[in-house]
Structures are given as C-alpha cells and as structure tokens.
Amino acid sequence: MILDGKKVSEKRLEILKERIEESGLYPRLATIIVGEDPGSQLYVRMKHRACERVGIGSIGIELPEDTTTERLLETVARLNNDPDINGILVQLPLPKQIDTTRVIEAVSPEKDVDGFHPYNLGRLLAGTPVYAPCTPKGIMTILAEYGIEIAGKRAVVVGRSIDVGRPMAALLLNADATVTICHSKTQNLADEMRSADILVSAVGKAGFVRADMVKEGATVIDVGINYNENGKLCGDVDFEAVRERAGAITPVPGGVGPMTIATLMEQTFKAAERKAC
C-alpha cells in the first residue's frame, strides 16, 4: 500500500477550509526568513500558498543574510505583541551568526505553530501536547487516515533531530507504541530497523534504507529529502526494492512533505481558535 500524503493533505486542507469558513475567524500566520537560500524560499512560498487556499492570512518578513540575533529577536517580539498574528514561523536553518536556540525560545508558546519551543516540546514529552512539530504530527495523521495501528507495535525512529526524530518518538509513544530511537552511534542498526513494525527514517541519505533492513509487512515512513546521482528528488528509502517487502510505504515526493504544510495550517487555525475562546 502506498501512503499517499499528497492525497491526504488535499483532503485535510479542504476540510480545514470549511472549518475556517464556518468559524468566522480569520487566522493569520507570520513567516520570517533570513537570507536567500532558494530551498527555504521555496518552502516559505508553499506555506503562503497553502494559507491562501484555506483562508488564513499570511505576512512574510524577509531579513538580510547578515541579520543579527538581536534584530531577529526584535522582529519576533513585535509579532508576539501583535494581536492580529496567531502563528509565527521562523524558517530554519538560520545563518550561522544567529543563535537559533534563543530565537526559538523567544517565540511565544501560544504562537509557536511549528511546535519547536521547549514549552511545546515539553508538553509533547509529558503526553499533553498543544502544538507538535509539523512533520511528525503530519506522519501521525497519515497513519491515522490509513488506519495503521500503533498501540502495542514496535516503532523504530532513525534520526534524533528536534524537528523530526525526537518529537516523532514522543508522538508514537503517546500513541502507545514501543519506541526505539536510533542514530549514528547505534550498534546493530540494521537489526534494530528489522525489528520495526513501523520504521521512520529521518537520516538524509539516499538509499539508506535497503529492503534487507525492513521486516516483511512493516510500515515504512520516509522523511528524507535528498537528490540522487541524477539530480532527482528522493528519500532515504530504496523505494522500488522496499515496497516489495513493506506493508505500507510513503513515497518521496508526495508522502510526508505535503503533510507538513497541511499540519502547519491546522495548527495555525488551532492557535486562532484557542485565542478566540
């Protein structure tokens, strides 16, 4: 079974559009991008386009590559204090002179629709989440949409980043999976991966997950965004080989990626709803 993230995200965006219309609310998202990275610019443009589609207002703030931490913190503070803004998204990565941790911690937790603030990560770890990072939350939505059982299953997450691996593990644990996080120092990695009923790869290496590392019938979630030797977009998983063994698998493109944006939209609406009540 192919887990079609594009299709699920389209469906979720349509439902969200109706919910926003019915609510009478006009949620607003502010994005901040520092520098000229074309990849980041593309992602931010896609987020603004999604906002327009569902009826969320968006403002984009573009700051120069040589922006200081202090200047960025001032911008975040202004958005925190703006009652018309419900969600704030600081596009990562930031240029190296900027203290990313200070910036993430400066975003008001109520407007942290990206779910990266330690308050929101703490709530997630405590099992009482408010906003969760959009990529792993979007993966939980795909699993739910396809009726893939999580409770009691063995889940293995490869990668321990703040935006994917760690929150993914917390979300799976909150859904009663037995969770293992693997990383670059893990011993017998292939054995760990083969034990997974649900395998999530967030490594960033094309061809990293081979068929012999996947249990027959497992659900394989590919979070990788890589380019192969022909310059073609691909994930971490050797898709053609692994799909023969897996019970369900996300493609790249059209798997996890679209769900990240749909989740951002849902969390921005949630921020507007929470403010309204």
The residues binding ligand GUN (CB under 6 A) are 89-92, 114, 134-135, 163, 260
189 Ramachandran zone, left/alpha/beta (phi>0; psi -120 to 50):
alpha
What is residue 2's DSSP assignment?
B
> Does 114 participate in catalysis according to the annotation?
yes
> Does 270 participate in catalysis according to the annotation?
no
Q: Cα 181–182–187 angle (5° rounding)?
A: 135
Q: In terms of CB distance, is 193 or 206 closer to ligand GUN? A: 206
What is residue 237's DSSP assignment?
B
Annotated binding-site ranges: 159-161, 225
Exactly one of 47, 111, 137, 215 is catalytic; name it: 47
Q: Amino acid letter at 220? A: V
Shortest Å, Cβ 92 to ligand GUN: 4
Shortest Å, Cβ 277 to ligand GUN: 26
Instruction: Identify which of 60, 71, 61, 65 has the alpha carbon closest to the alpha carbon of residue 36.
Output: 65
Angle, helices 134-145 vs 165-174, to 10°: value is 40
Shortest Å, Cβ 241 to ligand GUN: 27
Point out which residues pair with 221 in neighbouring strands.
Answer: 200
The residue whose Cβ lies closest to ligand GUN is 92
Two tokens, residue 188:
């017998």
Q: In terms of CB distance, is 30 or 214 closer to ligand GUN? A: 30
- Rounded to whole angstroms, how far apart are CA atoms 197 and 154? 5
Shortest Å, Cβ 265 to ligand GUN: 12
The label of the residue with tokens 């893990």 reads 186
> Does 91 participate in catalysis according to the annotation?
yes
Q: In terms of CB distance, is 168 or 193 closer to ligand GUN? A: 168
- Rounded to whole angstroms, how far apart are CA atoms 249 and 244? 10
Annotated binding-site ranges for NADP(+): 159-161, 225
Q: In terms of CB distance, is 32 or 237 closer to ligand GUN? A: 32
Exactly one of 4, 112, 114, 197 is catalytic; name it: 114
Shortest Å, Cβ 89 to ligand GUN: 5
Give the helix/strand (H/E) hosting 181: strand 178-182
Q: In terms of CB distance, is 135 or 141 closer to ligand GUN? A: 135
Q: Which residues are catalytic?
A: 47, 91, 114
